Amino acid sequence: MKRGLLYSIAMLAALLMTFATAQAKTQFVTIGTGGITGVYYPTGGAIAKMVNKKKKEYGIRATVESTGGSVFNVNAVMNGDLEFGIVQSDRQYQAWHGLAEWKDKGPQKDLRSVFSIHPESVTLVAAVDSGIRTIKDLKGKKVNIGNPGSGQRQNAIDALTAVGIDYKKDLQAENVKASEAPGLLQDGRIDAFFYTVGHPSGAIKEATSGARKVRFVSITGPEIDKMLAKFPYYAKSVIPVEMYPGAQNDKDVPTFGVKATLVTSAKVPDEVVYAITKEVFDNFDDFKKLHPAYSTLTRESMLEGLTAPIHPGAMKYYKEAGLMK
């Protein structure tokens, strides 16, 4: 009897030890995303889902955090608050070269690329009753250009500057998060907002399905073409209006855009970056099904639009898979 009890205690202790070691080995990694009604947030979830399926094999547990967007994510990855971040390709370029928000801090030398993901369009949404039909009509209007920390803020400023609008003087610029803009537009508190986002997105659905009628405004013209020629990271793109039946547009809307990319730090261990890369690429067809914004993705396209050097953990996988030499 006594022996039986001792045996049970010993077994329990052994079990607890095993559990504790397994726990100690788990590496927790966090992916910084954007607002929950954007595409970064579900994208972070999709990436986490792929790697968490193999938690036993890798000992990695990935979680997702909603953040202020690209600029916030670069900075949080650089100071070690986050292991991964989803970042616009233009913001990655600027951080790596020490431009825009990184002008004073200088080049972010520890920034590393993992892969790129869906295309994002600079999306200008305006209330029909505001009379805004072209980007130049934003003069004198109340416009959300985005929170500091977001990717879209600089895109909005670039587009406005290109057409001769000084956002500090010629319009009433609001600085709120993209997740709040659709509500403000519907409540009549702003006339328009910019959001650089993949399509379809929850925020744009929300903005286009309320009582106040809204339309997408194209961002085109000779001045915009000049700007696109000046910045290597911008390219023409189109917003597919069939994704938003409530929008008062009958044709797809031409604008410009960038790509969403996954970044990390040189300080994040190779095996962690390798595991995430491998699980997304090995299960590419499953991954692609996780969001309609991934419809045009190919494995090869996921290696385009990267400026910072590819993290060695990701590179190990690309070489094994024959995607890179």
Q: Which residues bind ligand GLU (CB under 6 A)?
A: 34-35, 38-40, 69-70, 88, 120, 150-152, 196-198
Q: How far is the CB of 70 from ligand GLU (least distance, A)?
A: 3
Beta carbon nearer to ligand GLU, 44 or 313: 44
Task: Closer to ligand GLU by CB, 194 or 317: give it.
Answer: 194
Q: Token digits for 223?
A: 């001045």
- For residues 87 and 122, what is the distance between their CA atoms, to the nearest angstrom? 14
Query: Minimal CA–CA distance to 57: which of 254, 325, 272, 300?
Result: 272
Question: Could you tell me the smallest distance in angstroms from the CB atom of residue 147 to ligand GLU?
Answer: 8
Taking the chain, what is the end-to-end CA distance rounded to the nearest angstrom? 66
Query: Can you tell me the distance from the alpha carbon of 48 to that of 279, in angstroms, rounded to the nearest whole number?
Result: 10
Please identify, using beta-carbon distances, which residue of 35 and 313 lies nearer to ligand GLU. 35
In the complex with ligand GLU, the residue whose CB is nearer, 75 or 88, is: 88
Q: How far is the CB of 15 from ligand GLU (least distance, A)?
A: 43
Min. distance of Cβ 177 from ligand GLU in angstroms? Answer: 9
CA nearest 89: which of 68, 63, 115? 115
Q: Between 152 and 218, whose beta carbon lies closer to ligand GLU?
A: 152
Least distance between ligand GLU and beta carbon 265 (Å) = 18
Give the number of other Cβ atoms within 10 Å of residue 301's Cβ.
15
CA trace torsion 62, 64, 68, 73 (10° rounding): 10
* Pairwise CA distance, residues 147 & 85, whole Å: 17
Choose between 87 and 227: whose C-beta lies nearer to ligand GLU. Answer: 87
180 HSE (CA, 13 A, CB side): 13
Q: Output the smallest distance, CB 289 to ligand GLU, in A.
A: 18
